[in-house]
Chain A
């Protein structure tokens, strides 16, 4: 118990003092998880919408793949990205291994299926009659999609929050493709692992508290956004 209280004190101390290492780790964490979430949203929401509104060949296979991807173990994603990105891999000449972009790629791989799958479900959840009503009122198919996406905002925001949660809590893939390089690819989760390895439980707890704090702030902002839309209905 003492350890946790000390951890909280230590976390506050690090934040107030503006510890340079910690600030850097926080910035890298936000960059990686922010960029990965954005990419996953940019791919996942349109794909989920398409799957919900259109019929096409292989749709069942695609949705089973998306659902399968929702359970993709991050270390597997990390391994895959490693094999592709390292020096003698297919994209080795880009020198991306152990960089932030490599981490973003791995994290996006993990979060995109989650956002796709949940968007798919969110849009399917809307009354199917609405689509035909809109069409009969003379809306263009694209307009219909836009309106349905707007209607499904609550569910879509839940998808974004779930995707972000997956990304910011991820450690295995980030460790593997990022290398946990100090000042470059060290993020809050990998920093916790390292401090535990060093036997510095107090610092590990402090970083864990900072991680929880940041996750909560971001999720709270997203939640406000989500419910704001809801009350406008």
Chain B
């Protein structure tokens, strides 16, 4: 009995030792990890102070959701030596961050809002980078019978008149801004109607809500294609010139915000419009979803698309 007890005790203290060792190793790894992180970022910031400071980019979520971010950013970092931090948010929020000088450059898709920002002076050098288009999707049964309707205003009016459920992102993103401007051009005021659902969500989330509710929604084609494998809603209305989705890059105005890294911002926007950057954009998507997702627009302007 006594013998047993000591054995047990021995076992326990061994166990304890073992756990202590594991704990110690973990703490060690943690410390090393943190300090190596800290030192590398210190190195960066000290060497950057003279030349390469980190660039903070405000990107519309569509670019990340379509996987384009993961293509452009590594290539940009490799070519220029800049380190980046990307914040993927809706266009509205990206512009709000730019307005506070919290980002250095933006890559967004709402021409009217961007033009207002240019006028207000907190962004500069806006340049068109690429485009794709928006499409109206909805249930296979298509209660509103909009399939094949090219005129998007007519399609939306029909959805409203038949009281078919429509999901709006309602998050002040570029897509949402476009949707609101389209409704404005119809005679319908959807806000508050029982069939009009305001999701307050990003594009992917909104697509999934529409899918679950068998409802109509408006989406950019890239996010739609990326999510298609989990969606049962077909494209019903497309091709209206009003549905073009223009993406532009702009730099945040250094004159307004002294902490903005304008060299980094310029390097990024230049890269997006460079031959290499434009090629990455044009070729993106074939591998993942079997078709190209964006058309590169370097050197073109809004007016080429009737804006």
Interface residues in chain A, defined as those with a beta carbon under 8 Å from any beta carbon in chain B: 27, 30-31, 34-35, 38, 86-88, 92, 95, 97-101, 179-182, 184, 194, 196-199, 201, 221, 224-225, 228, 231-232
Contacts and interface: CB of A to CB of B under 8 A. Distances in A.
Interface string B204-219: 1100000000000000
Given A88-B101, A180-B88, A221-B22, A197 B61 contact: yes
B12 interface: yes
A228 B15 contact: yes
Interface string B182-207: 00000000000000000000101100
Contacts of A224: 15, 19
Chain B contact residues: helix, strand, loop or mixed = helix
Contacts of A180: 88
A196 B226 CA distance: 11
Interface in B227-268: 227-231, 257, 259
A221 B19 contact: yes
A38 B26 CA distance: 12
13 contacts: A31-B30, A31-B37, A35-B30, A35-B34, A38-B27, A86-B102, A98-B87, A197-B65, A198-B204, A199-B204, A199-B227, A199-B228, A221-B22
A174 B144 CA distance: 42
Given A224-B15, A228-B12, A228-B15, A197 B54 contact: no
B85 interface: yes
Interface in B5-29: 12, 15-16, 19, 22-23, 26-27, 29
A115 B56 CA distance: 35
Given A31-B37, A86-B100, 12 more contacts: A31-B30, A34-B26, A97-B102, A98-B85, A179-B85, A179-B87, A181-B86, A197-B205, A199-B229, A225-B16, A225-B23, A228-B19
Contacts of A99: 41
Interface in B53-78: 54, 56, 61, 64-65, 67, 69-70, 73
Given A98-B85, A199-B230, A228 B102 contact: no
Nearest to B104: A87
Given A194-B64, A197-B202, A199-B229, A27 B33 contact: yes
Nearest to A229: B16
B15 A196 contact: no
Contacts of B226: 198-199
B37 A100 contact: yes
Contact of B70 (A87, A182, A196, A221): A182
B73 A182 contact: yes
Contacts of B26: 30, 34
B45 interface: yes
Contacts of A199: 204, 226-231
Contacts of A31: 30, 33-34, 37
Contacts of B202: 197
Contacts of A38: 27, 30
Interface string B69-108: 1100100000000000111100000000000111000000
B12 A232 contact: yes
Nearest to A183: B74
A221 B45 CA distance: 38
Nearest to A194: B64
B45 A225 contact: no
B214 to A, nearest CB: 18
A95 B259 CA distance: 10
A38 B33 CA distance: 15
Contacts of B229: 199
B23 to A, nearest CB: 8
Contacts of B41: 99
B301 to A, nearest CB: 31
Given A197-B202, A198-B67, A88 B102 contact: yes
